[in-house]
Each structure stands twice: as C-alpha cells, then as structure tokens.
C-alpha cells in the first residue's frame, strides 16, 4: 500500500478534533509546514544567520571594490595595501510577532473539523500578510530607487522594455561620492527577480505589446490562453514572484539575496496544543491553543540592487 501524505487535518484517515487534542504536536507541525518557505523575505533576502542580541548593525551601500586600483610594482618594490570603502551605518532591530489559535470543547464535542481547518488557514494567511507587509515596508525606503513607467501596463505600456530598463539601471548603479579616478566603478549587480501583484497577470494577458512575442512554436505559451506566466517571461535569467499583499500599481525589480538580509533571533515556531489555564477539559476556558511566534530583524544594505517601477495601472 502506498504512503499517503497528510497536508491538512482533513487528510488521511478519519481524523477527529479529539484526535488532534490527543496528539498536541499535530496542529503546530501542520502550521509550520503550511508556512515554511512562504514568506517573501525568505524568497528575496539572504539569511544572515542567527541573532541572539535582537539588534543587527550593518552598513548601507558598502562598495564592492577596494578604494585603490591595482598598482604596478617594480622588482623589490613594496606591494601597496588598500581597504574597502564603508557605507552608511544602520541598525535593524528584531521585532517579535506572534498569534495563536484555539480549539474549544464545543469544537471537540461536535467534531467541528472544518472550523479547525479554517483557523489554521486563517493563521497562515495572517502571518503571511504581516511578514510580507514588513518586507514591503523596508523595501519602500527612500534609498531604493524608483522610476515611473512610460505608460500603464493595462494600457499602451511596454512591460518588457520597462523591466529591461530597470535591469540596466541596476547594473549601472554606482556607489555615492566616488573620486574622479573611480568613475568607472559599478556595483555590478545582476537583477534576477521581478515582484508584482498576481492581478498584473490580467494586464499582461491583455497587453498586445507583451503578448505579440508568443508566435510560431511558442504560441501555446501565450499568457492570454494559459492564464499563467511562462517561465522567464522578462528574460532568460529573470524570475517572477507574485504576492497578494503587493501594491497593484507597482513592481519591484531586484537581485535577490543581495539587496538585503534577514536575521532571526527566534525562527518561526509553534507551541504544542495545550489547555488554557491547565486542568481537565481545556481548563476554565474549555479551550486548547497553539501559539505561533517569530522574532526577526531585516535590513536593506544594498538598496541600489533594486528599483521600483511605478504607475503600472491606469489612475
């Protein structure tokens, strides 16, 4: 007999709410599986490791080259030493975010498994919304460049051209206050990701400036037919990430894992299901609960590795 994967409390055998309470690790395990790797920060930022102090100091816009060029050195001459430039010092503070869900004795007695599923789904969605709102906030820093598209994508706009221009602008980004001798110094970023609201799919599907390339042997990939974005639609090395919490009228072009970082003081965790207040039947409230919590610091230390495209929708 084949192995059956259980992904919700309604899968597998006839699980009851009573079964969930008897196995206090079932609900938190399923919640962790539902959220693992789903946060935008996990997809866009690099993991800077643990952070026991709840505070991260970093520098914004560190140059990626030494301050001096390589030197001609004569025989027996001393090899010169140079140093790396420093960006603007910044501090990121880890913030604890937490929320819990309950199972009541009524839900247990009436075996209301649907209500348990709804609460688990609600917790997942609420945590996703909160985390995605946090990363959207730090990426909205004035230090991250932005530019308006020439025309809205739901009109006569040219989405591929707009994204390509943003990629070129990111690749041409330079550190601030360079000496004249280093005017040809660039960060050499390589943007590889576009983040947008999934509703932009409609704009792209109806935009003839976007769909005209789907001819010949790729006609079956036309977004107007598939209702899905084909892989690398903005270029061979550019991936699209969509998020329901993203602004409808903006897209962000960036190099993932370079633009910024996250550092966890407390990685996402869930308590086992426990009776509130102790005692039988779930304690005086007659409820059992599981609590989710996370404490994370995030920072944008290479803001020029990203660029906002604004004005994607018609006002």
For tokens 């952070």, the residue is: 51
Helix (H) or strand (E) holding 118: helix 113-139
For tokens 């994967």, the residue is: 5
* Of the candidates 137, 160, 150, 132, the residue with the CA atom closest to the CA atom of residue 242: 132
If one counts every other C-beta atom within 10 angstroms of the C-beta of residue 221, the result is 15
Question: What is the percent of the chain with per-residue pLDDT over 90, rounded to a whole number?
Answer: 62
Beta bridge partners of 47: 262
Per-residue pLDDT, 264: 96
Q: What is the mean pLDDT of residues 22-40?
A: 91
Mean residue pLDDT of the chain comes to: 87
Three-state SS at 193: strand
Per residue in 182-229, pLDDT (tens digit) is 677 788 899 999 999 988 888 888 888 887 766 666 666 666 666 666
DSSP one-letter string for 46-105: EEEEE-TTSEEEEEET--SSBSS------TTPPPP---B---EEEEEE-EEEEEEEEEEH
Q: How far apart are CA 262 and CA 94, in angstroms?
A: 9
Q: How many Cα atoms occupy the beta-carbon half-sphere of 280 within 13 Å?
A: 0
* Ranges 56-60, 139-143, 283-287, 294-298: which has the least confidence: 56-60
Between 277 and 164, name the one with better pLDDT. Answer: 164
Per-residue pLDDT, 188: 86
Between 279 and 224, name the one with better pLDDT. Answer: 279
pLDDT at 3 over 60: no
pTM over cut 0.85: no
Between 131 and 277, name the one with better pLDDT. Answer: 131
Per-residue pLDDT, 4: 38
pLDDT confidence band for 233 (50 / 70 / 90): confident
Q: What is the mean pLDDT of residues 51-73?
A: 83
Per residue in 97-126, pLDDT (tens digit) is 999 999 999 999 999 999 999 999 999 999
Per-residue pLDDT, 184: 74
Per-residue pLDDT, 5: 43
Q: How far apart are CA 22 and CA 288, in angstroms?
A: 11
Q: How far apart are CA 33 and CA 30, in angstroms?
A: 5
Residue 33: exposure state from Cβ atoms within 10 A (0-12, 13-18, ≥19): middle
pLDDT at 258 over 90: yes
Per residue in 4-28, pLDDT (tens digit) is 344 445 554 478 999 999 999 999 9
Q: Where are the beta strands (DSSP E) in the chain?
A: 46-50, 55-60, 88-93, 95-104, 146-148, 193-196, 239-242, 250-254, 261-270, 274-275, 287-299, 306-310
Between 90 and 69, name the one with better pLDDT. Answer: 90
Q: Residue 133, Cα to own-chain centre: how many angstroms?
A: 10
Domains and CATH numbers, the chain: 17-64+82-310 (3.90.1690.10)
Helix, strand, coil percent content, the chain, rounded in steps of 5: 30, 25, 45
Q: How far apart are CA 190 and CA 139, in angstroms?
A: 18
**What does each C-alpha distance from 80 to 45, 67, 72, 74, 135 come to in angstroms?**
36, 12, 10, 12, 42
Q: Do the beta carbons of residue 46 and residue 257 sit within 8 Å?
A: yes
Per-residue pLDDT, 308: 98
Per-residue pLDDT, 28: 93
Q: Which residues of 258-284 are buried (b: 16+ CB within 10 A; e: fewer)?
A: bbbbbbbbbebebeebbbeeeeeebbe
Q: How far apart are CA 296 and CA 302, in angstroms?
A: 19
Q: What is the mean pLDDT of residues 83-92?
A: 81
């Amino acid at each position: 007999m084949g192995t059956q994967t259980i992904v919700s409390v309604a899968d597998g055998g006839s699980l009851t709410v009573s079964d969930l309470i008897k196995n206090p690790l079932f609900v938190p395990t399923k919640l962790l599986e539902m959220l693992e790797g789903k946060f935008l920060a996990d997809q866009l930022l690099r993991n800077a490791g643990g952070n026991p102090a709840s505070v991260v100091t970093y520098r914004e816009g560190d140059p990626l080259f030494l301050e001096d060029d390589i030197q001609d050195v004569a025989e027996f001459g001393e090899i010169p030493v140079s140093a790396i430039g420093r960006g603007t010092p910044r501090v990121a503070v880890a913030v604890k975010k937490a929320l819990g869900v309950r199972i009541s004795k009524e839900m247990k007695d009436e075996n209301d498994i649907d209500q348990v599923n709804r609460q688990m789904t609600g917790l997942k969605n609420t945590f996703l919304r909160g985390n995605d709102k946090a990363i959207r906030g730090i990426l909205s820093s004035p230090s991250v460049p932005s530019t308006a598209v020439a025309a809205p994508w739901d009109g006569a706009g040219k989405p591929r051209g707009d994204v390509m221009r943003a990629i070129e602008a990111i690749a041409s980004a330079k550190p601030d206050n360079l000496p004249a001798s280093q005017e040809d110094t660039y960060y050499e970023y390589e943007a590889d990701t576009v983040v947008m609201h999934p509703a932009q799919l409609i704009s792209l599907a109806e935009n003839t400036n976007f769909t005209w390339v789907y001819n010949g042997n790729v006609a079956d990939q036309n977004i107007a037919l598939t209702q899905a974005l084909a892989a690398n639609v903005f270029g061979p090395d550019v991936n699209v990430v969509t998020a329901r919490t993203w602004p409808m009228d903006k897209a962000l072009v960036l190099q993932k894992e370079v633009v910024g970082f996250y550092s966890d003081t407390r990685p996402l965790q869930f308590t086992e299901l426990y009776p509130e207040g102790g005692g039988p039947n779930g304690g005086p409230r007659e409820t059992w609960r599981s609590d989710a919590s996370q404490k994370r610091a995030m920072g944008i230390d290479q803001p020029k590795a990203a660029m906002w495209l604004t004005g994607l929708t018609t006002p």
